[in-house]
Chain A
């Protein structure tokens, strides 16, 4: 489906004279064993914008195997969309990130919470827009949440548990294209501990300081991201990165910052095609 973001990118491409084709993955199949991927995808560089995590992952895998340059790559999709793997990638790269544990049963969860204390944050390993993220305020609440999750799909029994970072009532979303942080916004929460704009969080411009640029670019590089949204929090010890977003949205950020994120993305993608 074509959201504001995809239409903005298509318009930016048209304005720059860059040839672009919008391909709906729902209406096609991709050969895994044939010589090419699909005649509908003739272009060498593919910008992956599937909003479905699984369609995104598998179509990226198939397209890369067929020789396309996909932004972002399968490795980036895998290591950013899964919060467990993302945290491991950030840790490997030496990027400050909140204390995080993974557990698989109630017993393991309670052990982790014994170390994290309350409140603590529980998120599904794969999920977005704040969906099913829970702020665990005490042991009783934690046990009730875990009991619910035990009846859900097994993927929800991967308990990604993180310290609740004391911060202003906002976080920072930055946009990294190539090796540069091109824009940043504060996302101020609207009566919810989650700051996602999908949950009513408000976007306000944030200056891209050297500190913000450094951590954002390093975080993008940690997962091999070429066009990503990086989430930061202002902890008492400085900026920490808690997430990298593989298929970042920017509908609210363009008007908030005045930065032509889709145009910059198109310029970058066109440069890949010229290499």
Chain B
């Protein structure tokens, strides 16, 4: 899968877990890992953008 922002290839870590955030190495765009439990297929969807109430 390629980054939707800059088209660079995205790397999914071999130990990626459901919901994990991975970033495009080129432009930093964030993606969330989606794992289909039945098939084991791993896809990426754009991560939610920072909201006003996010933080520590």
Contact = CB atoms under 8 A, between A and B. Distances in A.
A7 interface: yes
Interface in B17-49: 17-21, 32-33, 47-48
A268 interface: no
Nearest to B13: A7
A7 B16 CA distance: 9
B55 interface: yes
Interface in A17-33: 22, 24
Contacts of A248: 56
Contacts of A51: 54-55
A2 B17 contact: yes
Q: Pick from A2, A3, A10, A246 the residue with the most CB of B within 10 Å.
A: A2
Interface of B is mostly: loop
Interface in A214-264: 229, 245-249
A54 B53 contact: yes
B51 A52 contact: yes
Given A1-B48, A2-B20, A3-B21, A52 B53 contact: yes
Interface residues of A, number: 23
A89 interface: no
A11 to B, nearest CB: 9
Interface of B: 17-21, 32-33, 47-48, 51-56
Closest 9 CB pairs of A and B: A128-B55, A245-B56, A53-B53, A2-B20, A2-B19, A51-B54, A128-B56, A129-B55, A24-B19
10 contacts: A1-B20, A1-B47, A2-B19, A2-B20, A10-B17, A22-B19, A52-B53, A53-B54, A153-B52, A247-B56
